[in-house]
Amino acid sequence: MAKPQPKQGGDGPRHVAIIMDGNGRWATQRGRPRLFGHQAGARRVREIVEACPDMGVDYLTVFAFSTENWKRTQSEVAGLMNLFRRYITREAKALKANDVCVRFIGDRLRLDTKLVSMMDELEALTLDCKTVNLTIAINYGGRDEVARATKRLARDVATGRLDPEKVDEETLPKYLDTCVLPDPDLVIRTSGEARISNFLLWQSAYSEYEFIDTLWPDFSAEEFRTVVGQYGTRERRYGAVPA
């Protein structure tokens, strides 16, 4: 299957990736536990997914849990894992009904088997959906992804399935978790932080970035529409000089 290519020129973004930051601060500002903010953030995902078709966004990738997030308190991590299970249970039918194809990226080995099984089932349920491609990054880190991809590539070289002399910058993406996705045109990070936090390191080499002050639970479809609209005014040259 050929990997879809990003749009160029002044078109709107076909693939938007979002670092959903600020859930904990949003909850703290309201005197509530951090998990309350994560629950509000999960509800916001549905609104953003539903807004994608009208804006011409075919692919949406959201950063739900990083390889570094295991450093958080045991209670917060456990609460997040329970939230992921509840999200799949609650949203599965709506995602299918709205023709949303769901994929998960990241290293599943550290996740509990029940959650992995639920992820597999949701992927299978929505496999033939085509209106929006929703990718959820769980236990994902860009460096970890590249390391895992490199291991797979090295095994193919060692077994003779891949000629090392033919390895180039087009080879590694075929081994990444996102091998069937186009690279993101636009990456949005909410909450005012200006970091990429180990997210889609290879894929975002030529992405446009927007760092938004709004905390994720407050990031509405209207604001999403504004950011996507601003992208259309940019000229993406990929290193070339316009004629």
Q: 182 to each of 14, 81, 121, 172, 185, how far by Cα in Å? A: 9, 28, 24, 14, 9
Tens of pLDDT along the chain (243 residues) come to 455 554 444 479 999 999 999 999 999 999 999 999 999 999 999 999 999 999 999 999 999 999 999 999 999 999 999 999 999 999 999 999 999 999 999 999 999 999 999 999 999 999 999 999 999 999 999 999 999 999 999 999 999 999 999 999 999 999 999 999 999 999 999 999 999 999 999 999 999 999 999 999 999 999 999 999 999 776 655 555 555
pLDDT digits (tens, 9 = 90+) for 108-128: 999 999 999 999 999 999 999
For tokens 């509000």, the residue is 40
Catalytic residue of the set 11, 21, 58, 198: 21
Token pair belonging to 172: 């590694």
DSSP tag of 156: H
**Cβ atoms of 100 and 126 closer than 8 Å:** yes
Q: 174 to each of 136, 153, 178, how far by Cα in Å? A: 19, 9, 8
- Kindly report the number of other CB atoms within 10 A of residue 196's CB atom: 17
Catalytic residue of the set 11, 23, 58, 69: 69
Amino acid at 169: E
Q: Is 69 considered catalytic here? A: yes
DSSP tag of 4: P
